Amino acid sequence: MTTATKFEKQATEVYSDRDPKSGAQLLLEAIEREGVDIIFGYPGGAIMPVYDVLPKTSLTHILCRHEQGCGMAAIGYARATGKTGTALATSGPGATNLVTAIADAYLDSVPVVFITGQVPSDLMGTDAFQEVDIVGITMPIVKHSYIVRDPADIPGMVREAYFIAAEGRPGPVLIDLPKDVANAVTTERHRWRPYPKQKPEMGTSDNIAKAEALIRQADKPLFYIGGGIAQGDGVAELRELVERTEIPVVSTLKGLGSLPSDHPHYLGMLGMHGLKAANYAVQECDLLIVAGARFDDRATGKLDTFAPHAKVIHMDIDVAENSKLRATDVFLDGSLKKNLAALDPFRNEPYEKAQVQPWRDLCFSRRTQHEWDYDGAQENAAPGVYAPKLLHDLSRRAPESAIITCDVGQHQMWVAQHCYFDDPKDHITSGGLGTMGFGLPAGLGAKLGAPDRTVITVSGDGSIMMNIQELQTLHRYGIPLKIVLLDNSALGMVRQWQEVFFDRNFSEVNLDDNPEFTKVGEAFRIESFLVRTADEVDAGIDRLLATKGPVLMHVKIDPNENVWPLVPPGRSNADMMER
């Protein structure tokens, strides 16, 4: 049965009910039918009819303390569970406060349905109180959007919205619901068209054969993997293909965990703050096998110097990525899972290991050569807590299934470089948009989506202040999120760039007037404690992991500590700066 046929059959079932119901009732019932269990939201005037019906449903509503927090929590939930997240807000500022979360979901291909209230239909376009054209504002950053004109359209519209958000390359969908439509009562249920677009199952057999031939011919092949591996449910197939071919692997920020961090064929993250072994391998390979990655500028450095000697096999569900930034020799569209499973370059001829063994030996010797010496690095760092070692030790001592959510800045790169990940769902951060304030609400969303897993949020003193109000959400619902706050009294990544590239002209990066974060945490009734010295780290990690409820570990670190290596903007990935 095709997806379209399934959709049509389900739609027929939806429209069998002819009881008089309001648009708000129809909306929430349709959301329930999609299997949604949790909605993150914040009420207001235009969305009030929906909140009037909400207590009569089976849905669990989480009241975040800012609409951006609602959106980020829905993203964290979606990324931890693989389901489609749901966020709800009112019109005007409620809707505009969701915009950053919508953009984050769009750039990181996360399935979330965002529902906004709107002023009554007859007031739209009149500059009414709390009216904005949220559909127009978000047009470039959604997969699809709707303005509801008739309550009879709602059941089919909701079904299609969740289908579009999750199908193909996932992303956000917006439903804008005018207040009069939410209040209107109808006995009608309009039949909704099945969504017609269907992605191909996998690349053509000819292209599979061409890709296999390129792999057989290569002397220096390399896998370059991204977030599409997890989103395409291709983790197991990738690992099996890597085991069969023994080809080295590098990863983007969002691809972390697709291979375990200690996998023998894994070289680490590539790019601006990538590891040396990974960046050198990309620059010297003669075949780049790209799976679920999009040649992002933070990964490639100066694009025309990226993998300059390599032919390219590119696998992606989005055909728009084909040769968008880098010319592709073979493009395999459709399901990453099926394309990875189909690739078997040595099925009909013997695998000549000697052909690529010198390349493997070089790659893996570099990985060993540039392995991080945490004790030695700490000795050369300033006195106090050395953040990379703390994060390394924390990730090794946390339960195997732990999830780390992360904000944006130096701590984000330290997490990527030094934490251990066994699965891509173990690492949740804002990649494409680089959103400060992401980590705390994403962490609470992830914990609600995966209640049996330990969830740790790593934040910085700049980032946490952007959505610190969500500490109250943790307290209200007793969400046992574990927060590690790395405090260097600065906007660390901006300060580092000003030090390295702007002649130490430090402009508006000093945060030495930060609040006492432990007292802030306690004011929100969150258990909080301070770690100042290296000697206190082990006990601090023990306390963090042992605490049953929400907990904040405030860690003071050296404001002058930088993230290394660093590829300067506009330079080749081979040109890495060091301490």
List active site positions.
67, 129-130, 179, 493
Reading the block at residue 96, the tokens are 């505009």
How far apart, in whole angstroms, are the C-alpha atoms of residue 129 and residue 308? 56
Strands 249-251 and 60-63, by their bridges, are: unpaired
The CA–CA distances, whole Å, from 356 to 149, 224, 246, 282, 353 equal 62, 17, 9, 15, 6
Contact criterion met (CB below 8 Å) for 416 and 365: no
Name the helix (H) or strand (E) containing 293.
none
Q: Which residue has the tokens 């569970």?
A: 81
Cβ neighbour number for residue 547 with a 10 Å cutoff: 16
How far apart, in whole angstroms, are the C-alpha atoms of residue 455 and residue 111? 21
Say which residues have a Cβ less than 8 Å from residue 277's Cβ, sequence separation at least 6.
267, 268, 363, 366, 367, 369, 370
> Could you please report the per-residue DSSP string of 142-207?
-SEEEE---GGGHHHHHHHHHHHHHSSS--EEEEEEEHHHHH-EES-----PPP-----SS--HHH
Contact criterion met (CB below 8 Å) for 47 and 27: no
Count CA atoms within 13 Å of residue 334 on its CB side. 16
- Considering only CA atoms, which of 205, 169, 180 is closest in space to residue 336? 169
Strands 85-89 and 38-41, by their bridges, are: parallel
How far apart, in whole angstroms, are the C-alpha atoms of residue 154 and residue 25? 10
Q: Which residue has the tokens 């046929």?
A: 5
How far apart, in whole angstroms, are the C-alpha atoms of residue 561 and residue 388? 10
How far apart, in whole angstroms, are the C-alpha atoms of residue 32 and residue 292? 31
Contact criterion met (CB below 8 Å) for 102 and 74: no
Contact criterion met (CB below 8 Å) for 174 and 116: yes
